[in-house]
Amino acid sequence: MTLELRDVTKTFSDDASSGVRNVSLRLPEGQLTALLGPSGAGKTTAMRLIAGLLAPDSGDILLDGTSILPLPPERRGIVLVFQNALLFPHMSLAENVAFGLKMRGLPRDETARRVAEMLDLVQLTGLGSRRPHELSGGQLQRGALARALVLKPRLMLLDEPLSSLDVALREDMRDLIRHLQRATGVTLLMVTHDQSEAVALADRIALMMAGRLIQEAGPDEIFQRPNSVATARFFGGTNFLPGRADKGRFISSLGPLVLPPGQPNGPGVLTIRPEAVQLVDGSGDVRAQVTEKLFLGSQTRVRLLADGVPLTALVAPDRAEALSPGSWIGVRLPTHALWVLPAPAAD
Amino acid sequence: MSRRTRPLLLLAPALVLLGGLFFAGLGLGLVRSFRYMPALGLDTPDLAAYAAILQSGTFLASLGLSLWIAAASTVLASILALGTALLLRETFPGRALIGFLVQLNLTIPHVVGAIGILYLVSQSGSFARLAFAAGLVAVPSDFPPLTHDPLAIGIILTYVWKELPFIALILLANLQAIPPGHEAAARSLGAGRWQVLRHVTLPLLMPGLVAASSLVFAFAFGAYEIPLLLGAHAPEALPVATWRGFTAVDLMHRPEAYAMAMIVALVSAVLLALYASFALPRRARP
């Protein structure tokens, strides 16, 4: 199963923020792709277009090379799992899970067998007779997954599957989604606004902003080698230094810095992830003054000013213990962690 | 004022009205239906009034007619109201106009509607004359009798016309309270439009539909003015027969009228209880 979006556009006259514009995307078979972006980026619209709950203004959506646009939602073989589970309140959990099979007219005994199997798989064994109002948030969400997976869909869409759960449940649910995906081999597309969720779960990440697809890559790549300042910022990037790359060096107000090989020459923005910035006792690459220190638990965030350039470092708490606002420290910017982004187009 | 007395005080006016007028009236009626009316010299309660009416063919015919009127009006109005409510939920040109007409209908009294029906569909009404003008009937009185007819079609038409908007508005409010995702979720799970309606929307609407149609049934079963205006002479609807009992010159007919009123109340209560337990399966209750 391969899903492909070709130059899909859908805009709303009454809501300029949530449309999608010229999105092209391919979902690799049997993998989990995260459709990531801030709210209003058009993620949910994209998902509803794929599910058939909306029709695009232009462009095409293909499943295994065939356009699915003429098909109504129930004929696409694509199941959408909504953010708030939405189990039908007038049915038991087992009846909910059996719903799609019943609609397909499957014999009762086979339905019952597959429902029981699926309840086992999502660890809801024995809860089949419960009503939705008798289930916890995590159980509802797992019920919704079971209700979708029991249909053996060609593609399963998850709309913010973790956001309605509290923190303790999220990790369990994350593991379960991973496990279910491996156990069934289903192709998954998950919408989320949480980059850590996307990085932890997805094989591929498609980043959307303001209706456009910004970058599509593996989590490692999109995290370490973003293709724009916007992408880097979305993944928690904080250090951006305008200048130009020239023969393996980056020339900026911090002086020349040696770049890793393979960076193109020309104007650009140098970035380094805050956790890659090192604080050293010597002079380092540059001396900087601490402007703010914030203990975050497992890390401490140190804001610095080096020759008028603001930098942020995330370091182990003991490394930052002796620092306080106003103190001076050496900053090392390791070559392997440097990455040059294209200079933003002049507006 | 303590937290416990406050709600009681707030409820007091409603309780006085309900208790005073409803239960006292019902109690008084019950006592009199047992032929206990000392002012008339009846001072030993008995069941003779019940026995008399249950043995009379006219009472049973009236009961049957009233049940038919109530059931047919309720079923027709409910089905049409369901369609109207589902339609009004969509957006289409003319939606506002239909919504306005539906609500306008609520403001017209039953009696006015009944007179309108009389002018339109009786054998001397506009439709009969139109049919005559068009050569469909030889004389206007050949037009099929739709008022004062044994099947009570005019009465049922009036109730359907009047109660449809009432049920539709209640259903529309219920529809708007259904979380919008449920129907989309059902679609995505492979249910077609009709399956969604049958397995998701209707069950979620059932509490509202039962409440609204129960009110309509109880009203159509017990109301007096429409059958009086549009009903046949025999059999007459139960409320009409009851009222004639009350207004009979011979006061000894009173206990029978009270007994009929008690039976109307009892039949309504039993039917509505059965309906609620049948149409609202345990799982649909909150």
Kindly state whether residue B21 falls inside one of the protein's structural domains. no
Question: Residues of A with CB below 8 A from B189's CB?
Answer: 74, 79, 99-100, 103, 147-148, 151
Residue percentage of chain A with pLDDT more than 90: 55
Q: ipTM score here?
A: 0.77
pLDDT on residue B23: 84
- Where does the pLDDT of residue B285 fall: very low under 50, low under 70, confident under 90, or very high at 90 and above? very low
pTM: 0.76
Q: Chain B contact for A53, CB < 8 A?
A: yes
Which residue type occupies A27?
L
* B279 interfacial to chain A (CB closer than 8 Å): no
Chain B nearest C-alpha distance from A129 (Å): 11
Q: Report the mean per-residue pLDDT for chain B.
A: 85
Is the backbone of residue B143 left (phi > 0), alpha (psi -120 to 50) or beta? beta
Q: What tokens appear for A331 in the block? A: 């900053």
Tell me whether residue B42 is in a domain. Answer: no
In a domain, B126, yes or no: yes
Q: Is residue A17 over pLDDT 80?
A: no
d(CA A303, CA A323) in angstroms, rounded, equals: 11
Using the Cβ of A148 and the Cβ atoms of chain B, whether some distance falls under 8 Å is answered with yes
A81, A88, A133, A141: best to mutate for the B interface, most B CBs within 10 A: A88
Is the Cβ of A99 closer than 8 Å to some Cβ of chain B?
Answer: yes
A90 touches chain B (CB under 8 A): yes
Report the chain B residue with the minimal C-alpha distance to residue A54: B184
Tens-digit pLDDT profile for residues B9-51: 888 888 888 888 888 888 888 888 888 888 777 788 888 888 8
Q: Where are the alpha helices (DSSP H) in A187-293?
A: 195-201, 219-224, 229-234
Exposure b/e, B85-123, CB count within 10 A at least 16 = b? bbebeeeeeeeeeebeebeebeeeebeebbeebbebbbb
CATH at B85: 1.10.3720.10
In a domain, B49, yes or no: no
Is some CB atom of chain B closer than 8 A to the CB atom of A89? yes
Question: From CA A200, how far away is CA A324, in angstroms rounded?
Answer: 34
Which two structure tokens, joined as six digits, stand for A316? Answer: 């182990």
Question: Domain limits at B102?
Answer: 56-279
- Mean of pLDDT values over A82-105: 92
C-beta atoms of B181 and A84 within 8 A: yes
- Token pair 């010159």 in the structure block, residue: B249
Range A132-138 average pLDDT: 91
Per-residue pLDDT at B68: 94
Name which residue leads in pLDDT, A202 or B104. A202
Residue B285 lies in a domain: no
Structure tokens at B100: 């306005």
- Nearest-CB residue to A131 (from B182, B204, B283): B283
Contact A103 B189 (CB under 8 A): yes
What pLDDT is attached to residue A346? 53
Angle, in degrees to the nearest 10, between helices B254-279 and B24-33: 120
Using a CB-CB cut-off of 8 Å, the residues of chain B touching A134 are none
- Amino acid A116: pLDDT: 95
Can you say whether residue A250 is alpha, beta or left, with left for phi > 0 and alpha for psi between -120 and 50 degrees? beta
In a domain, B2, yes or no: no
The rounded distance, in Å, linking the Cα atoms of B25 and B19 is 9
pLDDT at B284: 43
pLDDT at B137: 82
How many other C-beta atoms are found inside a 10 Å radius of the C-beta of residue A220?
10
Q: Does B283 touch chain A (CB under 8 A)?
A: yes
Indicate if the pLDDT at residue B283 is higher than 80: no
**For residue A197, with 0-12 CB atoms within 10 Å meaning exposed, 13-18 middle and 19 or more buried, which class applies?**
buried
Domain annotation covers residue B62: yes
Split into its structural domains, chain B has a count of: 1
Q: Give a yes or no: residue B1 inside a domain.
A: no
The first and second tokens of residue B278, run together, are 């049948």
